[in-house]
A and B are shown apart, each in its own frame.
Chain A
Amino acid sequence: MTGRAGVRTTVGAVIRVRLPGLVDAYTGGAREVELPAAQSPTVADALAALDARYPGLRFRLVDEQGAIRPHVKLFVDANLVRDLGATLRRGGELMIVGALSGG
């Protein structure tokens, strides 16, 4: 089947995304969502699916050259990733964290 973001998915396969409060304006306060998982899902796939559900969110997290923004950190199953091509495990977890210090 084809998921909302046009990604090939398997029925029942999902990726769990944990969301920080700083994106509440998009998510309505949801802290965790499940997205349909592609056959070999990547972080890019997950963010595309997330953007399909919450339009505009991806650009706030990833710049126009495909780089994760400087104070956004992404963890896949608790491991920090810096590349949108990083793979996700079906049934795995993507955690989005806002990391910033200063006044």
Chain B
Amino acid sequence: MATRSKPAGAARKTLLLVATRKGLWTLTGDGPRRSWALAGPHFLGNVVHHAVLDPRDGKTLLAAARTGHLGPTIFRSLDRGRTWKEAVQPPAFREGSGRTVEHTFWLTPGHPSEPGAWFAGTSPQGLFRSTDGGATWTGVAGFNEHPQRKAWCGGDQDGTPDGPKLHSIIVDPRDPAHLYMSMSSGGTFESTTAGADWRPLNGGVKADFLPDPDPEYGHDPHCVRLHPAMPDRLFQQNHCGLFRLDRPAERWTDIGGAMPKSVGAIGFPLVVHPRDPDTLWIFPMDGTKVWPRVAPAGRPAVYRSVNAGRTWQRQATGLPPAQAWWTVKRQAMTVDEGATVGVYFGTTSGEVWGSRDEGRTWKCLARHLPHIYALEAT
């Protein structure tokens, strides 16, 4: 698959979509990504779980939102956020199913050959599809009505503290019918039929919180990414560590073993280099004992691997050296497509950090924002 690279010195601006617990902001970087301008908020007071720009047209922007009072919806912009409309028919389970969408958690644009197609993952776990740029959404019956769904997902009360989630919806860039998605809890699943049927794909992934440590499903993947330049390669940041899968293999390989023992291999986000299939970044957090879910020892650091997870390097230059107790949620880390890749993350304490040299040095780009749920670079 062809991938885009921003030429060195290009004047193209970098846009970061900052989705927070209290609204949506944007950060716009100049060509060299040295200077950043914060704008917003959009939807002040809304919990915005994810905001994504459609890479196919460069102007359609969807935001998954709800407020403390009002139910979940999708806001749509056709002009990169200048004006917004609400979805006519937001994701909702079938009437009579007894299930209710608490919030839409994840948005994924569809295949380039299917303009206007989008997928959404919800809490509790549901999969929805739009074919009209997010105006109307329908449940993907192949998953939502699958006879095994309840067994795969557990109850709606199981899963992460603010509700079980369907996330990491991935469309194979070579084949619009080949999909992956993951659930916390439930595990990672694959469809080769455009979502008409699904099967678990969790072999080799640890689930040390379950009675059977190597079950077929029931795992807790936090974030799964497919490499755009090597679409047979998947990386997974899991509740129980780090894993890589090179298809057609069926069993994931543990790639967390080389992480320092004092830091561990647990975290929420994982991002891949846009062109180099061996390079990825993670942001570890403390998942020991009672799961504090903060930077290990209060010393935040990104870790990078340039050999698909065989070894890892700590990248913390510019980050607080001590007494920084935030972490990074699973959608809140992203990369741009610069010749030298920019890496960015947003924190639970409302700071956006960026590196314009692939993680070697870091700079705080914005602070004093609400708890950041998602960050997307365009």
Check if B100 sits within 8 Å of A100, measured CB to CB: no
User: Complex: how many Å from CA A92 to CA B71?
Assistant: 26
User: Which residues of B272-328 have CB atoms within 8 Å of chain A's CB atoms?
Assistant: none
Does B86 have its Cβ within 8 Å of any Cβ on chain A?
yes
CB distance from A55 to the nearest CB of B (A): 7
Check if A64 sits within 8 Å of B100, measured CB to CB: yes
- Within 8 Å CB of B147, what residues of A? none
User: Which residues of A12-41 have CB atoms within 8 Å of chain B's CB atoms?
Assistant: 22-23
Check if A22 sits within 8 Å of B67, measured CB to CB: yes
Check if A23 sits within 8 Å of B70, measured CB to CB: yes
Mask of A43-64 contacts with B, CB within 8 angstroms, 1/0: 0000000000001100111111
User: Complex: how many Å from CA A90 to CA B100?
Assistant: 32
Check if B69 sits within 8 Å of A71, measured CB to CB: yes
Question: What count of chain A residues pass the 8 Å CB interface test?
Answer: 20
Does B10 have its Cβ within 8 Å of any Cβ on chain A?
no
Mask of B79-95 contacts with A, CB within 8 angstroms, 1/0: 00000001110101111
User: Complex: how many Å from CA A62 to CA B70?
Assistant: 9
**Total CB contacts across the A-B interface at under 8 A:** 52
Does A98 have its Cβ within 8 Å of any Cβ on chain B?
yes
Does A86 have its Cβ within 8 Å of any Cβ on chain B?
no
Q: Which of A55, A67, A71 has the most CB of B within 10 A?
A: A71
Check if B100 sits within 8 Å of A60, measured CB to CB: no
What DSSP secondary structure best describes chain A's contact surface? Answer: loop
User: Complex: how many Å from CA A100 to CA B242?
Assistant: 39
Does A65 have its Cβ within 8 Å of any Cβ on chain B?
yes
Check if B68 sits within 8 Å of A60, measured CB to CB: no
User: Which residues of A57-102 have CB atoms within 8 Å of chain B's CB atoms?
Assistant: 59-67, 69, 71-72, 98-100, 102
Q: Which of B70, B90, B98 touches A61 (beta carbons < 8 Å)?
A: B70
- Within 8 Å CB of A102, what residues of B? 68
User: Complex: how many Å from CA A56 to CA B84?
Assistant: 14
CB distance from B136 to the nearest CB of A (A): 12
User: Complex: how many Å from CA A51 to CA B88?
Assistant: 12
- Within 8 Å CB of B73, what residues of A? 56, 59-60
Q: Which of B86, B88, B98 touches A65 (beta carbons < 8 Å)?
A: B98
Check if A59 sits within 8 Å of B90, measured CB to CB: yes
User: Complex: how many Å from CA A68 to CA B96?
Assistant: 15
CB distance from B19 to the nearest CB of A (A): 18
- Within 8 Å CB of B98, what residues of A? 65
- Within 8 Å CB of B67, what residues of A? 22
User: Complex: how many Å from CA A65 to CA B86?
Assistant: 21
Check if A64 sits within 8 Å of B70, measured CB to CB: no
Known: A63-B100, A64-B100, A64-B101. A69 touches B69 (CB 8 A): yes
CB distance from B161 to the nearest CB of A (A): 14
User: Complex: how many Å from CA A12 to CA B98?
Assistant: 38
Known: A22-B67, A69-B69, A71-B68. A56 touches B95 (CB 8 A): no
- Within 8 Å CB of B93, what residues of A? 64-65
CB distance from A28 to the nearest CB of B (A): 14
Check if B69 sits within 8 Å of A64, measured CB to CB: no
User: Which residues of B45-91 have CB atoms within 8 Å of chain A's CB atoms?
Assistant: 67-71, 73, 86-88, 90
Q: Which of A63, A66, A67, A100 touches B69 (beta carbons < 8 Å)?
A: A100
Check if A60 sits within 8 Å of B88, measured CB to CB: no
CB distance from A27 to the nearest CB of B (A): 13
Interface residues of B (CB under 8 A from A): 67-71, 73, 86-88, 90, 92-101
16 pairs of residues in contact across A and B, judged by CB atoms under 8 Å: A22-B67, A56-B73, A56-B87, A59-B73, A60-B71, A61-B70, A62-B71, A64-B93, A64-B95, A64-B100, A64-B101, A65-B97, A66-B95, A72-B69, A99-B69, A102-B68
Known: A22-B69, A64-B100, A65-B95; 15 extra A-B contacts, CB below 8 A, are A23-B70, A56-B88, A60-B70, A61-B71, A62-B71, A63-B71, A64-B93, A65-B93, A65-B96, A66-B95, A69-B71, A71-B68, A71-B69, A98-B69, A100-B68
Interface residues of A (CB under 8 A from B): 22-23, 55-56, 59-67, 69, 71-72, 98-100, 102
